Structure 1
Amino acid sequence: MRVLVTGSSGFVGRHVIDQLVARGVNVVASSRSPMGRHDVDHVAADLTQPGAATALIEKVQPTHLLHLAWNAVPGQFWNAADNLDWCAASLALLRSFHAVGGKRAVVAGSCAEYDWTGAGQLDEALSPINPATLYGVAKDALRRMVLRDAEQHGHSVAWGRIFWLYGPGEAPGRLVSDVAVALRDGRTAAVSAGTQRRDFLHVSDVAGAFVAALHSEYRGIFNVSSGTPVSIRDVVGCLSEAMERPEGVHYGARPTQPGEPPLLYGTVDRLQREIGFRPIFGLRDGLAETARWWRQSCDAL
C-alpha cells in the first residue's frame, strides 16, 4: 500500500498525514509548498499546471490516492475562477491514477454540492443536488464524471462531502479561528446573532473519516459530518468559555447574510455503517482542545 495524499500541507491534509504515519502506512505527500517534516516523502507539485497531475502519478506510482487538494482560501474559493482549473486537474489526476493501475481512490467533495434551499437535512441518497456557487458546481461536475467512470470501469472510488470543520491550526477568515484569535488577543469578537444551525466536525475527525474510507471497500458518496446540527451562537459560546472570555463576544454585531439557510446538517448512516467511522471529539471537547491550541500559540509568540 503506497498512498499519495494531495493537498498534504492543508488544514485537513496535515491531520491525514499524521494519522496515516501513525498507522505505519507508506505515504507520499504532495502540495505546492513544503511540509516542514522529514518523516514523509514529499513531492512538490502545482496540479493546476498542464501535465503536472500525470507527472506526479507517474513519479509516485501510488496504489492508493487520497485527493484533498483544491482552492480553499477563505472568502475567495466560493466563486474563484480557478475552480475550473481544479476540476480539470483533478480529472487528469484520477485518470492517470487509474491508468497506472491504482487500486483505491478517495476524493474530497463538499456539502456545497447539495441544494441548500430545502428542509436542512442533507442525505446522500435523497437530497437534491443544486450547488449555488462555482465551487459547488465544479465539485459536483467532477464527482459526476469520476463516479460514472468508476461505475463503468470497475474502479474503487469514494467521494466524501465535507461539512463545517474547525480545529487547531485553522487559517484566518473562518468562524472559529477568527473568534479564537480575537479573544486570545483581548479584542471583541463581532459575530452575527448566530441563530443559524450548522454541522461542525473537528478537523482530526474529518481526517479520520477519510483515512477510514481509504481503508474500507465502500464505493460512492458519503457525508463527512457529525449528523448533529448546532447553532452558531452555541459554537461561539462554547469557544468563548474555553478561551475564558465569554464576555468578549458581541452577538448581532454582524448581519446575517441574506438568504442564508437556517439549518444545514448531514446524515451519517453511510459514514458510520458502511465505512465504520465515528468521531472521537464531541463539540465541547473539540472546542476546548482548539482553545488550548490558540492560547499556547499566543504563549509561543
Structure 2
Amino acid sequence: MKLFITGGTGFVGSHVINQAHTAGHTLVVQRRPSSQPRLALDRQPQWVDRALDGDFTAELQGCEAVVHLASHTPNPPYAPLDECLYWNVFATVRLLQQAAALGIRDVLVAGTCFEYGAAAEGLEYVHPATDMRPSLTYPISKAAATTACLGLARHLGLRLQVLRIFQVFGEGEAATRFWPSLKAAALDGRDFAMSAGVQVRDFIPVEEVARQFLAALDFTAVAPGRPQVRNVGTGQAQTLLAFAKHWWAHWQASGQLVPGQVGLRPGELSRLVADVNSVHTA
C-alpha cells in the first residue's frame, strides 16, 4: 500500500516508518523543514519537507491512505490554545480535504488519551465513547480535531479511524519525559526523584503503538461515513511507581528511586487505563 504519513520524524512516526517499510508499504512522509527522525531509520522514505498547512496535492497523488501522526506541542509546556488549534485542527482538516479531493477515503488519525480529560476520572477503564472534557491547551485542540475529523468523515464519506494513544514510552521519546529521564538517571548511576507514583496508567511500548496503527490499515470493518474511535493501549493498569521500579531493576541501576519528592501536575488524573476491547462508531 502507498501511504501518506505526517509527522514522520516524531516519536511514534519514526517507529511507524520502520515497521511500515518492513511490512512492504511505499511511504510518502511529511516532515517539518530541518526536522530529523527521533531514531535511526532502516530505510529512507520519500520525504516531503513542508509545514503541515501546505499544499500536498502533488504528493498525495497515487496514495491509498493517509496516516496522520503530526501534532503540535504534545509535551508540556503546551503552546497557547490558538496556536494548538491552528496546527492540530485547521491544518489537519486542510490535509484531509486535499486527500478526499483526490479520492483518498482511508484515513488514520492519531489521537491522545488526554482528550478524555476530567470525563475519565473515576473510570476503571476508559471506553472510546467517553465524553471529551479536557482542560489544557493541547488536549483541547486534539479533542477539537477529533470532532472536526469525525464530522468531515461523515460529510465526505471517509473511512476514518481515530486511534487514541495511551501512555506510550520507548526509544526516541523526548528526553524530558518520564521514561527517558528515568533511563538516563539509571545508566548514569544517579538517584531519581519522582512523585509518589500512585498514578495508575496504561503504559504501552511505542513499538506496539506502531504495530496497532499498521494493523488498523485494514479498513474492511469501517464503513464510509461511519468513522470509528478506538483506544491504543494494553488495557493493563500499573502505578507509575511500579513502572519505575520495573525499569530501574531492568537497567540494574545503582542509584536510588526517591518517590514523593515531586508534586503532581495540576489536573493530573489518578487513573487512566484504556478499554481496548471496544470500538465506538461515531
Using structure 2 for the length normalisation, give the TM-score. Answer: 0.88
Secondary structure of the 1:8 match is coil
Residues 97 and 224 of structure 1: CA distance in aligned 2, closer, same or farther (over 3 Å) = same
Tell me the CA shift for residue 215 of structure 1.
Answer: 2.4
Write 1 or 2 for the structure with the bigger share of helix: 1
For residues 218-252 of structure 1, the C-alpha deviation after alignment (integer angstroms, 9 at most, x for no partner) is 34101011111110000100010011016421111
Give distance in 1, aligned partners of 2:57 and 2:248: 45
RMSD: 2.1
Residue matched to 1:299: none
- The answer on 1:43 being equivalent to 2:48 is yes
Give 3-state SS (helix, strand or coil) of 2:128's partner.
coil
Give the alignment partner of residue 242 of structure 2, picking from 234, 245, 248.
234
Asked if the contact 1:237/1:246 (under 8 Å) is kept, the reply is: no
Is the 2:105–2:157 Cα contact (8 Å) retained in structure 1? no
Mapping of residues 124-139 of structure 1, within 5 Å: 124-125=128-129, 127-139=130-142
For the residue of structure 2 that corresponds to 1:43, the secondary structure is: strand
Cα deviation code 1:98-135 (max 9, x no counterpart): 0111131100111111133531331112x222111121
Mapping of residues 182-193 of structure 1, within 5 Å: 182-193=185-196
Partner AA of 2:244 in structure 1: V
Cα 1:90–1:186 shift into 2, 3 Å: same
Residue 58 of structure 1: how far off its partner (Å): 2.8
Correspondence 1:197-208 to 2 at 5 A? 197-208=200-211
Residues 27 and 192 of structure 1: is their aligned pair in 2 closer, same or farther, counting only changes over 3 Å? same
Once the two structures are aligned, what percentage of the paired residues are identical? 29
Q: 1:264 is matched by which residue type in structure 2?
A: L
**Aligned position for 1:255:** 263
Residue 230 of structure 2 aligns with which residue? 222
Equivalent-residue separation in structure 2 for 1:184 and 1:24 (angstroms)? 36
Shift of 1:256: 2.5
- Structure 2 gap segments, 5+ residues each: none
Q: 1:2, 1:25 within 8 Å by CA — same for their partners in 2?
A: yes
* 1:153 is the counterpart of 2:161: no
Aligned to 2:127: 123
Which SS does the other structure have where 2:207 is aligned?
helix
Quick one: structure 1 residues 78 and 136, their matched pair in 2 at CA, closer, same or farther if it must change by over 3 Å? Answer: farther
Amino acid in the other structure paired with 1:89: A
For residues 23-172 of structure 1, what are the structure 2 equivalents within 5 Å?
23-32=23-32, 33-35=35-37, 38-48=43-53, 52=54, 55-61=55-61, 62-72=63-73, 74-77=75-78, 79=80, 81-86=82-87, 87-117=89-119, 118-120=121-123, 121-125=125-129, 127-172=130-175
Consecutive unaligned residues in structure 1, runs of 5 or more = 275-301
Please say which of residues 29-38 and 97-106 is displaced more in the overlay.
Answer: 29-38
Deviates more, 1:229-238 or 1:68-77: 68-77
Aligned length: 267
Match of 2:14 in 1: 14
| CA deviation string 1:179-209 (max 9, x = no partner) | 1111212221110110110111000111111
Counterpart secondary structure, 1:214: coil
CA distance in 2 between partners of 1:183 and 1:156 (Å): 44
Distance 1:246 1:229, change over 3 A: farther
| Offset, 1:257 | 3.2
Q: In 1, Cα distance between the equivalents of 2:233 and 2:181?
A: 22
Q: Is the 8 A contact 1:75 1:173 kept in 2?
A: no
Q: How far apart in 2 are the matches of 1:181 and 1:145?
A: 39
Q: Match for 1:66: what amino acid?
A: V
Q: Which amino acid aligns with 1:267?
A: D
